[in-house]
A and B are shown apart, each in its own frame.
Chain A
Amino acid sequence: MKKSTGKFKKIFSNVVFQLILLVCASWVIFPVLWGVSTSLRTFEGIYQISDQVDAQDTTTGPTAPASTITKITGHLKSTGRLIRSLVPPAPIQWGNYKEAWKQGNFNKYFLNSFFYMVTVVFFMLLFSSMAAYAFARLRFPGKEFIFYLFLASLVMPLPTIFITVYLLLQNFPIYLFVVLIIIASLLIVTAGSFRRVMFLVLGVLLAAGAAYAFVASRNQAEPGKIVDLILTNINLLDTRTGYILPQIASGLPYTIFLMRSFFEAIPVDLEDAARIDGCSRVGIYFRIILPLSRPILAVTGIFGALSVWKEFLFAVVVFSDNAKMPIQAGLLAFQGTYKTQWNYLMAGVIITVIPVIIVYLMMQKHIISGLTAGAVKG
């Protein structure tokens, strides 16, 4: 007797659980399905949705006294009609997609977004894996300080400083950037030795002078113009470069942390063996570390790509020219032209959703395991 009540309880709780899951899953999936359904209707069709849901049964007149049971069955019937109205009426408008794709210039936005994704992810992975390797394995001056600098960045997220990034892009001192790189490289190559620095500076100055003389001999009119040109800040707003650079930078800290802990888990013996065989540090990084870290590269790459795909704030801030916009900003521009034509608008929305869903379903396991591997440990 006891056993059977336990069994009954188990079945009952299972039913309750399944019901909760079902309701929540419907809630999650309904907006997407409704978008698909709307996108397959005609423009007039979206005004007939209410008729489709309202369609009353002929048997129950509106005057029938409403008892609790008829009320409940009535609600169930309405819900049924709601679900049935997900199926768009007969002439299914596949043409909406063609129209939206053409009118919205989605091929342009897709190409743009794809380009941004590839470049940002490539440079982000390259730079952050290099830095992460150094933080995990190498001893070098300023290691602690630089690491804490990256750590501190986690509390200065881009949304709090995007206005100054905008100003920076507007007046980008490209020469300062170059000078900074040259000075840093000089210091590192010469390893801080004063004599070597002097030699190299002299060499660089001589080379620059020679180059200037050469260019000046060709443009005799105004050789000073070149200097002006070099010293002028350039405007990176509304350029692809201006959109890509800050995104590479903003993705770096988090990627570096994930990769550092991954690299630390790789056995040191492996590297020692390679070093005994005469492999340099750079060689070790490219031949041993990078091939071994394919899983973490994949995970951070997928998430980097996803965040570039979803990026919106910078797209709005940087671009005013439609031709260079990524997909999310493009979608907003598309909405501007189809304000009330929800069938076309939904077609556009679904067009941008389809590739994401396909990638997600294909890589679902990797995405979820990668996400949790980074977070649960911390």
Chain B
Amino acid sequence: MLKRPWKRREIVYLFFVLPALIFFGVFVIYPFIKNFLITFYSWDGLNEMKFVGLTNYKKALFQSPDFWKPIKNAAFLALMGITIQNGLALLLAWIVDKELKGAKFYRVIFFIPPMLSFVVIAFLWKWILEPNLGILNIFLKNVGLGKWALAWLGMRETALPTVAMVNIWASFGWGFVMFLAALQGIERDIYEAARIDGANHFQEFWKITFPLLLPIITSVSILTILGAMQQFDLIYVMTGGGPAGATEVPVNQMYMQAFQNGMWGYATTLGVLLGVILFIISLLQLQIKKWLVDW
């Protein structure tokens, strides 16, 4: 590449990126670096910081469940997300794409939950799931399934799946819209040809639609995982991480360690470890995309 000295005009062009760069440097890059540095200290947020080396990491990774348990819970949310949530989104997108009667109406309806905030969603569902007054349990008792009328958010066994269900309700609209857009980009002629060859709906789906959609399915799945790993609002309002830590997720745990337990060094360590996991997942996306292109 030919290197020529910068013209004065070109250096002045730096003004275009400067505001963005300064904001970004101060509020993202600097905290990112500082976050990393604090992980080597023991600090209560008030008194002097004490250098402790890798103790925080050792504690988080090997000695206490503060890191792995929330990660496991978040992974459960992510797993439910990529299977049930994206499966449902794909199914609905596929049906709506057939342009049946009322398809437009359903398209509007299915994207309503992503418009709502997690706080609102948490309250709406908390009311439905209320053990005594909630409509779900009232309905279950009424149809003779009284033994299934549980304290959904109050029991360790049911709390996490229940939250996962609400998360699915809240987020499947994103995938739905993405899949629908991708489906509408597929040429109709391909379906026509398959129909003439006598393919039924399911063959059509598995042999044509699914392979063509694989790239977008990958993207949406990764976004689903990243979203689930960073979930906070829904958990904070619905269960606060309880009962007995059954729905604890990483960001929630960081918040607790810093603001309630006053262990700032430890909380930032959890943040760094979460960042590493998110980074690996993002790398995975690139790798999968490469495989798909090769294939």
- Residues of A whose CB lies within 8 Å of any CB of B are 13-14, 17-18, 20-21, 24-25, 27-29, 31-32, 34-35, 38, 46-47, 49-50, 53-54, 71, 74-75, 78-79, 81-82, 85, 126-128, 130-131, 133-135, 138-142, 146, 149-150, 153-168, 177, 180-181, 184-185, 187-189, 191-192, 245-246, 248-250, 252-253, 256, 281, 285, 306, 309-310, 312-313, 316-317, 328, 331-332, 335, 342, 345-346, 349, 352-353, 356-357, 360-361, 364, 367-368, 371-372, 375-376, 378
Contacts and interface: CB of A to CB of B under 8 A. Distances in A.
B92 A160 contact: no
Which among B14, B88, B102, B233 has the greatest number of chain A C-beta atoms within 10 A? B14
A168 B34 contact: yes
Given A134-B13, A335-B123, A156 B6 contact: no
A372 B27 contact: no
B201 A168 contact: no
Given A18-B101, A161-B28, A312-B233, A342 B130 contact: yes
Contacts of B112: 28-29, 32, 357, 360
Contacts of B28: 153, 156, 158, 161, 249-250
Contact of A349 (B101, B120, B182, B251): B120
Nearest to B12: A188
A312 B117 contact: yes
Contacts of A248: 23, 27
Nearest to A312: B233
Given A53-B135, A142-B14, 15 more contacts: A18-B101, A53-B139, A53-B142, A149-B24, A156-B32, A161-B32, A163-B271, A168-B30, A191-B6, A245-B23, A312-B236, A316-B255, A346-B127, A364-B108, A364-B111
A29 B109 contact: yes
A188 B255 CA distance: 41
Residues of B contacting A: mostly: helix
B275 interface: yes
Contacts of B32: 156, 161, 164
B31 A165 contact: yes
26 contacts: A21-B100, A24-B110, A32-B112, A32-B116, A53-B142, A85-B135, A134-B13, A142-B14, A149-B21, A161-B35, A161-B271, A162-B251, A162-B254, A163-B264, A163-B268, A164-B268, A164-B271, A184-B14, A188-B11, A191-B8, A245-B23, A285-B16, A316-B236, A331-B119, A368-B111, A376-B216
Contacts of A361: 108
Contact of A160 (B8, B144, B255, B272): B272
Given A331-B123, A342-B130, A14 B100 contact: yes
Contacts of B182: 376
